[in-house]
Amino acid sequence: MTKKENKNITEDVEFGLDSRYSSNKEKQSEATALMEARLERMKNLSKDQIIRAKLMQLRLKMEDYIQHPVYEKHNYFSEFLKIYIDTLYTKRIHFAHDIDITPIRLSQVINNHREPKDEFLKRLMVHSEKVYENICEFQEETWYQLYFHEKLYSIMARKKEWKPKVAKHVKYSK
Amino acid sequence: MFPNYVNICYICSMVITEISTGKKHKVEIVPVENSDFKTLGKDRYFFDWKTEKEYEVFKLQIIGSTEALGLVSMERIPSEWRVHIRLLTVSVENKGKGKKYDGIAGNLMAFTAKIAVRDYAEFACLSLRPKTEIAQHYIEKYNMTPTGLTLSIMVPEILELINSYDHD
């Protein structure tokens, strides 16, 4: 291939990639070969590389939730928090120690028996900054956004319960 | 436990560069709606995109605009922890030497890589099957590995691909 031909190809590749397999047979045979090769390569993944991938996944899931919150009865904040801690630590008590809170307080937040205090959220923010520093971009406000999305949902979902009581105390005097 | 979002869209963290000015524009990558397909003609987007309707098709656009600057169709293969790119293109004015914006194809690649990692974490794999003569480009530019006719990228390289197109 001449240099000019090669240059033309490089200019063209980015505008048109047709990556479809020509037949199901080809697709299947490529899939089998690819899986075998991947399993070999995966054997060489270090623990650190696996943790990095899990943390990237967690970040992407949290971003998705913030952009498109799904209002269900799950407590996503504590679910995400559990994944975060369990990815990084073998025992949750070690995380509690690292952010200087009692293991009981952490357990209460994780199990939705207590709301996270502002100080907890701030420490979690700083902890995440340190963890993600050398892994990928991480928006520092992420945990707060998760928490307040859920708070908002919880308030709006229970509007019928609290609104009549609250309304008794509210008037608009011109 | 967590829902799989249909309307995945990564806003703000991705940018393309306007070549004439060097200005960076924030872009979003959003699903192509059924009604969009009639505007995605072969004259501007090089392929018959209607044939991809049964797959996931996304378009890259500058935030505030609805004009597709690039398109990608992909197939998630959960049984193999893999996302396979089927078609990828930039619009005609972004092709070759005189192109208006740089980074469209790379952002689309990084976007599909994000979907793979979001779904499969350490098992994630992004694959494509280019024609033989252009395979080398993808191997060099995106650090992909050939297996037979298929190129793939996995952890840790797939994380590097995502990071290289992630900007605050």
Q: What is the pLDDT of residues A102-150, one digit of tens each?
A: 999 999 999 999 999 999 999 999 999 999 999 999 999 999 999 998 8
What pLDDT does residue A154 have?
A: 83
Residue B134 belongs to a domain with what CATH number? 3.40.630.30
- Does residue A5 have a pLDDT over 60? no
Half-sphere exposure of B42 (CA within 13 A, CB side): 4
Q: Which of B28, B159, B163, B167 to mutate: most A Cβ within 10 Å?
A: B159
**A59 found inside a domain:** yes
**B2 found inside a domain:** no
Per-residue pLDDT tens for A10-32? 555 666 889 999 899 999 999 99
B152 vs A34, A67, A136: nearest CB: A34
Residue A154 belongs to a domain with what CATH number? 1.10.260
For B135, nearest residue in chain A (alpha carbons): A13
Per-residue pLDDT tens for A70-96? 766 666 899 999 999 999 999 999 999
- Residue from B8, B7, B3 nearest A70 by CA: B3
- The total of structural domains in chain A comes to 1
What pLDDT does residue B98 have?
A: 86
**B138 found inside a domain:** yes
Identify the residue with better confidence: A7 or A84.
A84
B86 touches chain A (CB under 8 A): yes
**B80 found inside a domain:** yes
What pLDDT does residue B118 have?
A: 96
**A109 found inside a domain:** yes
**B103 found inside a domain:** yes
- The total of structural domains in chain B comes to 1
What pLDDT does residue B101 have?
A: 95
**A36 found inside a domain:** no
**B3 found inside a domain:** no
B85 touches chain A (CB under 8 A): yes
Range of the domain at B157: 14-164
pLDDT tens by residue, chain B, 168 residues: 444 444 455 545 799 999 999 999 999 999 999 999 999 999 999 999 999 999 999 999 999 999 999 999 999 999 999 999 999 999 999 988 889 999 999 999 999 999 999 999 999 999 999 988 889 989 999 999 999 999 999 999 999 999 999 875
**B23 found inside a domain:** yes
CB pairs below 8 Å between A and B: how many? 148
- Does residue A99 have a pLDDT over 70? yes
CB A39 within 8 A of CB B110: no
**A22 found inside a domain:** no
What pLDDT does residue B79 have?
A: 97
Range of the domain at A82: 47-158
> Is A52 in contact with B121 (Cβ distance < 8 A)?
no
**A51 found inside a domain:** yes
What pLDDT does residue A4 have?
A: 54
**A97 found inside a domain:** yes
**A28 found inside a domain:** no
What pLDDT does residue B11 have?
A: 47
Cα–Cα distances (Å) from A169 to A162, A163, B57, in that order, read: 12, 10, 52
**A40 found inside a domain:** no
Cα dihedral A96/A100/A104/A106 (nearest 10): -50
Residues from chain B contacting residue A9 (CB–CB below 8 Å): 133-134, 137
pLDDT band at residue A158, thresholds of 50, 70 and 90? Answer: confident
Residues from chain B contacting residue A37 (CB–CB below 8 Å): 145, 147, 152
- Does residue A1 have a pLDDT over 60? no
A53 vs B84, B121, B145: nearest CB: B121
**B62 found inside a domain:** yes
